[in-house]
Amino acid sequence: MSGTVPSDEPVNKPEEQANEFRVQGRLVELDALRFTPAGVPVLNFKLEHASTRMEAGTARKVACEIEAVAFEADARLLAAATLGLELRLEGFIDRKSRNSRKLVLHAMRIEFVTNR
């Protein structure tokens, strides 16, 4: 049996399947709150991120837009937000749909960042 894994054992251990994403940015797009056929609140939104990171000993400017989605209480909370707010998100990434290769961030924790 070279290179095969018995079917009753997982291919990867849970700790090897890490999919955790954390980012901070400005809310730049907010769709209307909608509901799945099962009645679950869902909200699609877009976050604009800009930062400077060190890479290979050099400062690198990073800028991107990230498509994201929130469900349940997080969706309801975000539906009342205004564009331009600074958010800190934690979640995981997945395909936008079953037939898509495009990624979307599933926000599991949303924090509104205030300038003090």
Distance between CA atoms of residues 77 and 87, nearest Å: 12
- Residue 17: its pLDDT value, please? 80
Domains of the chain, with CATH numbers? 20-113 (2.40.50.140)
Q: What is the torsion angle, in degrees rounded to the nearest 10, for the CA atoms of residue 69, residue 72, residue 73 and residue 74?
A: -10
- Residue 28 tokens read as 């730049």
> Any idea what the Cα angle at residue 35 is, between residues 22 and 105, rounded to 5°?
15
Mind listing the pLDDT tens digit of every residue in the chain (116 residues)? 444 444 455 555 666 688 999 999 999 999 999 999 999 999 999 999 999 999 999 999 999 999 999 999 999 999 999 999 999 999 999 999 889 899 999 999 999 998 75
- Supply the pTM of this predicted model: 0.81
